[in-house]
Structures are given as C-alpha cells and as structure tokens.
C-alpha cells in the first residue's frame, strides 16, 4: 500500500464528511490542533508538501473508530495488501540483556513472536506488547506499540527509553537537550522523569499502536 499525498488528504476530507464534521472539528476530536487539517497547513512556506504525521493519523483513526482499510477506501484506494510481519516482544522483557543493541535495534528476532503490520517497514521496526495498567488511559494491557529506532524523535512524541540501569519505559518526550531528557508520564498517577543524557542508552519513537 502506498497512498499519495493527494489521496491522504482526500481521505481525511472524506472521513470528516462521513462523520458529519468540519476539518477543524475532526482535528479536535482526534485531540489535535484545530488547524491541523486545514488546506493552508498542507504546504510549507518553502513550497514543500506537508504530510500528516503517523502519530496524527493514528490518533485520527482511533478517535473516529476507523480501520486502516476503511481509511484507504475513503482515500480512493480499496486495495488490501498482504500484511507484513514484524517482531513482537513483551514490554516486560525489553530491559533484559540480549534483546537490543546499544542503539536500540532488536537482536535475535527469529526467537521473538510476531504481529501483522499493514505497511512495508524499514529495517529495525518492531513491536512491544503492553502489560499492566501503568500507561492507562493512553495504552492498555495487550496493546502493541510499533517502534522505529530510525525515526526522528521530537517534543510531544511518545517514546521508548532504556536507561543504563536496564529500565525500559514508555513516556512522552517533553524536552531534550545535549545534557538532559525530560519525560512526561502517560498516567497521571505516575511521576514525570528527568534523566541525564549519560543515563540513557537509547530512545526510540512509538509510531503506531495496534489494539
């Protein structure tokens, strides 16, 4: 599956219409800035096309209870591709030795479980299965978080972080500098965390969640 720039935006417009919402109301329903889907936001000041982020699309589909294949049809692409299989590991195991290299890429994935993922993926993409309720309401037990070690990490992204003590956590990136990484908890009952860069082995972006 490969949707074009125009098909993606066409799908968003058709989704808004099917929900009986304006583009602004659709964005707010997904927890996004009301102007996120405006036509004025689709081209940058330098003339380059702006695509909606994977995180924005994920929030949009979840908020409207729309499957990926339903969105494809709204975008004018009814083709259902053969899904790809990506490695799956329980989040509780992720801190153990032998599962990741020092850059956060998975090791020994032939022994991991696997899940279907609808997109063609680059090397290093994997999934972590949530256990427990420490990340509710953002993520619940059984959710599969798709992680990309290659993706750029920016403020507001949900990320997986491994520390030098072996702890692996899923948080929201609130701030990062050359010396410090500040992480916001996804559960209000758990504290936010500030880490020195030297205490972080690797950090990787959550690009999708499969429920």
d(C-alpha 126, C-alpha 106), whole Å:
7
> Which has the closest alpha carbon to 53: 61, 204, 144?
61
CA 92-189-145 angle, 5° bins: 35
- Give the three-state DSSP class for 18: helix
- Give the three-state DSSP class for 143: coil
d(C-alpha 127, C-alpha 210), whole Å:
9
- Phi, then psi, of 11 in degrees rounded to 5: -65, -40
Please tell me the predicted confidence (pLDDT) of residue 77. 60
What are the residue boundaries of the structural domains of the chain, listed by start? Answer: 5-74, 84-210
Q: By the 8 A CB rule, do 89 and 145 touch?
A: no
d(C-alpha 107, C-alpha 105), whole Å:
7
Q: Which fold has domain 5-74?
A: 434 Repressor (Amino-terminal Domain) (1.10.260)
d(C-alpha 117, C-alpha 127), whole Å:
10
DSSP class of residue 49?
B
d(C-alpha 16, C-alpha 36), whole Å:
13
Q: By the 8 A CB rule, do 41 and 55 touch?
A: no
Please tell me the predicted confidence (pLDDT) of residue 120. 63
pTM listed for this prediction: 0.64
pLDDT tens-digit readout, 38-97: 988 888 888 888 888 888 898 999 999 888 878 888 888 655 556 788 999 999 999 999
> Which has the closest alpha carbon to 189: 134, 108, 122, 107?
134
Q: Walk along the chain (211 residues) in steps of 10 and give the mean pLDDT of each run.
A: 81 91 93 91 85 88 86 73 84 93 94 85 88 91 94 92 95 94 94 95 92 70
- CATH no. of 84-210: 2.10.109.10
CB under 8 A, 24+ apart: contacts of 13-17: 13/37, 14/74, 14/75, 15/60, 15/64, 15/66, 15/71, 15/74
| Backbone φ/ψ region at 108: left (φ over 0), alpha (ψ -120 to 50), beta | left
Quickly tell me which residue has 């993926």 as its tokens. 121
> Which has the closest alpha carbon to 55: 142, 138, 164?
138
């Amino acid at each position: 599956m490969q949707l074009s720039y125009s098909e993606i935006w066409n799908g968003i417009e058709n989704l808004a219409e099917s929900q009986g919402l304006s583009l602004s109301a659709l964005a707010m329903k997904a927890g996004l800035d009301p102007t996120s889907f405006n036509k004025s936001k689709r081209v940058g000041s330098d003339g380059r096309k702006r695509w909606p982020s994977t995180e924005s699309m994920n929030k949009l589909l979840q908020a409207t209870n729309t499957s990926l294949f339903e969105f494809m049809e709204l975008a004018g692409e009814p083709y259902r591709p053969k899904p790809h299989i990506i490695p799956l590991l329980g989040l509780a195991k992720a801190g153990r030795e032998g599962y990741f290299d020092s850059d956060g890429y998975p090791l020994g994935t032939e022994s991991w479980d696997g899940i279907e993922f609808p997109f063609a993926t680059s090397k290093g993409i994997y999934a972590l299965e949530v256990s427990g309720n420490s990340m509710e309401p953002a993520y619940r037990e059984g959710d599969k978080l798709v992680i990309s070690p290659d993706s750029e990490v920016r403020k507001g992204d949900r990320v997986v972080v491994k520390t030098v003590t072996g702890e692996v956590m899923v948080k929201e990136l609130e701030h990062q500098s050359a010396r410090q990484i500040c992480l916001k908890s996804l559960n209000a009952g758990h504290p936010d965390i500030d880490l020195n860069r030297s205490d972080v082995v690797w950090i990787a972006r959550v690009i999708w969640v499969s429920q």
